[in-house]
């Protein structure tokens, strides 16, 4: 089990100044909201060795067995309008991609809007949950599921072709403490760019890591499928597809990417 003392004096400005570690939880996001109600400061991170009811977008379940990954949530309180809360999901994915490329030389990419993939297999997912007062978020919870030492035999049968982990990609067990410390430093660095309103840098990096423009994809939107070629992506407006019926724009909160075909 990770211990809070291991993260003391972490060289960060916001994210990771306070860490709370648990052996087993239903959901780290639920615990994070509890911490918000108790007045925990911005940047507080909740980590669990095992998560029984982790959730992703659209309340999909997230497979999070014991000691196999980074199952965590971060309390954030940026002074941004609610429509820009997706920036936090974006920087979470960027931070993981950078870490995987810098430390492991892995060709990680962002699959629109919130997954990190290697060779078309998901290694991490990011979600944001928001509660607002008037038009401003009271707090935003950034939830992170990052497969570290997950082994192929631990993956449910229906997910074996779509999921990967650092262990599966490198063939070596990874020091969770080290990788979690580094991830928090990468994430904090990008969060400072949110606070200093460096949105263009965030957007440009996200687009480069996405690699989706020009590809043919299929989206699921409110129970229906829509296919087309990606001609543009935007942090706030969403994804623009060229379809037989003309150009159409879809936002990330009500659409999910089913599959894509490389150019």
pLDDT at 60: 53
Query: What letters, b where the CB count within 10 A reaches 16 and e where it falls short, cover 90-125?
Result: bbbbbbbbbbbeeebebebbbbbbbbbbbeebbbbb
User: Residue 10's CB: how many other CB atoms inside 10 A?
Assistant: 17
pLDDT at 135: 63
Residues 6+ apart with CB under 8 A from 22: 28, 31, 46, 47, 48, 49
pLDDT at 63: 60
List, in order of start, the domains of the chain with CATH numbers: 4-210 (3.30.930.10), 216-261 (2.30.30)
pLDDT in tens, the chain (263 residues): 778 888 888 999 999 999 999 999 989 999 999 999 999 999 999 999 988 865 544 345 556 677 889 999 999 999 888 888 889 999 999 999 999 999 999 999 998 878 999 998 999 999 999 987 666 678 999 999 999 999 998 888 888 889 999 999 999 999 999 999 999 999 999 999 999 999 999 999 999 999 788 899 999 888 899 999 999 999 888 899 999 999 999 987 778 787 554 44
pLDDT at 57: 47
The radius of gyration of the chain's CA atoms, rounded to the nearest angstrom, is: 18
pLDDT at 134: 63
pLDDT at 262: 46
Q: At what angle do helices 176-195 and 199-210 cross, to 10 degrees?
A: 130
């Amino acid at each position: 089990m990770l211990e809070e003392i291991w993260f003391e004096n972490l060289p960060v400005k916001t994210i990771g100044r306070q860490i709370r570690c648990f052996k087993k939880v239903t959901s780290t996001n639920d615990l994070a909201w509890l911490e918000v109600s108790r007045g925990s400061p911005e940047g507080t991170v909740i980590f669990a060795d095992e998560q029984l009811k982790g959730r992703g977008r659209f309340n999909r379940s997230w497979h999070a067995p014991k000691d196999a990954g980074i199952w965590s949530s971060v309390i954030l309180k940026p002074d941004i309008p609610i429509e820009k809360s997706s920036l936090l999901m974006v920087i979470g994915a960027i931070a993981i991609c950078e870490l995987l490329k810098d430390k492991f030389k892995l060709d990680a990419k962002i699959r629109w809007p919130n997954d990190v993939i290697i060779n078309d297999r998901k290694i991490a997912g990011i979600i944001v949950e928001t509660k607002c007062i008037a038009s401003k978020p009271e707090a935003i919870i950034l939830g992170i599921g990052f497969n570290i030492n997950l082994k192929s035999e631990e993956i449910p049968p229906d997910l074996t072709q779509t999921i990967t982990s650092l262990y599966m990609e490198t063939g070596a067990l990874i020091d969770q403490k080290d990788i979690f410390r580094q991830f928090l430093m990468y994430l904090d660095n990008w969060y400072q760019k949110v606070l200093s309103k460096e949105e263009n840098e965030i957007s440009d990096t996200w687009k480069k890591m996405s690699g989706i423009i020009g590809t043919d994809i299929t989206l699921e939107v409110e129970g229906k499928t829509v296919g087309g070629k990606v001609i543009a992506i935007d942090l706030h407006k969403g994804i623009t597809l060229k379809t037989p019926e003309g150009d159409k724009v879809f936002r990330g909160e009500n659409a999910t990417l089913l599959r894509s075909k490389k150019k």
